Structure 1
């Protein structure tokens, strides 16, 4: 197969999915598809769950009958990239809302609005893994960002901010507490695209 066949779905129920699509389009030879129903998910090689309101998106996943499908999709080893609200949705537990059901794909807990419930956002330069991102710091915009509070042993921390992980990976899952789609820095999306391509190569050869 030609690598031009790579299709990345972006969950488009709510939130800033358009910015993710625009960023992914800068990452070379990938097609993007807005995902609102099961048919949209089928045939994709990776899925991005964007920022927005996590409780709203989780409810919409149920309303659109996508909750179990997205869960099965991630469990099957296909790469999933969750940013901000997406990071909350992939988690196994929300510290201050234990009753809120999440996708439980990632072995980590989150604390919502960990930087205070401020509406203002702040921009920070964070140190990413130099083997992946080079020496240049990553630009992070934290808007009502969650904090990853408890990571399982299989997680790699790819970037941190003030000693807290802000970008983590567990095999096919990539979770980011901030908004990488509005900084103009495409390196994290590029890394996800590479992850998707590697998985496709592995799937094809197995």
Structure 2
């Protein structure tokens, strides 16, 4: 089992640590690799897109030729999880800010995103979030978070705040507007691992 973390920019080490903890919790093992260039994605059984600066991430995965490999992985049913900026990259369409910055989107999910749905960094917050696959609230950390403004028929909404969709799933792709790697609660990472091990 091999899990790849897109390691061009963003919360890479935090995701690696969270994956290691989640694997240990379930008594499972997997190799976790950082993906910085073309050729690694096809060797992975699961992929994680960390938070970061979405415009930069999009530009770099395109430049490195990783974008086509990620799209192929999606078509092959490889589980993919995107968090914060990673959620933005999974989208098919974005708001005017996404369009203005010529944000590269992968179109892995039938969703439209608002890039800074909750405001700037100083408006970041934590909240006890009700997520459909969990039986108790999850302490979700939002930092300059996006939100999903439109979701197609095949998209399963997992969580919302004030009418804004902040977690969703479509086929083998998971998208979260918050940062599960910045909490000690491993349940979101466990849900992702369920897709690999079940």
Cα offsets for 1:145-203 (capped at 9, x unmatched): 001000011111122222322111101000001111101111011000001223xxxxx
Partner Cα distance (2:19, 2:103) in 1: 30
Q: Could you say which residue in structure 2 is the equivalent of 1:151? A: 151
Cα offsets for 1:28-68 (capped at 9, x unmatched): 22321111123322321010000000100111112212121
Partner Cα distance (1:40, 1:69) in 2: 9
Pairing 1:1-206 to 2, within 5 Å after superposition: 6-28=1-23, 29=28, 30-96=30-96, 97-98=98-99, 99-129=102-132, 132-134=133-135, 136-198=136-198
Structure 2 stretches of 5 or more lacking a match? Answer: none
Match of 1:55, SS state, is helix
**TM-score of the superposed pair, with normalisation by structure 2:** 0.91
Match of 2:89, SS state, is helix
Runs of 4+ with deviation above 4 angstroms: none
Partner Cα distance (1:113, 1:184) in 2: 25
Instruction: Give the C-alpha shift of residue 143 in structure 1.
Output: 0.3
Alignment check: 8 A CA contact 1:25 1:31 kept:
no
Structure 1 stretches of 5 or more lacking a match? Answer: 1-5, 199-206
Match of 2:127, SS state, is strand
**TM-score of the superposed pair, with normalisation by structure 1:** 0.87
Worse overlay, 67-76 or 83-92: 67-76
Work out the number of aligned pairs and report it.
Answer: 190
Partner Cα distance (2:16, 2:180) in 1: 12
Partner Cα distance (1:125, 1:195) in 2: 24
Instruction: Give the C-alpha shift of residue 120 in structure 1.
Output: 4.1
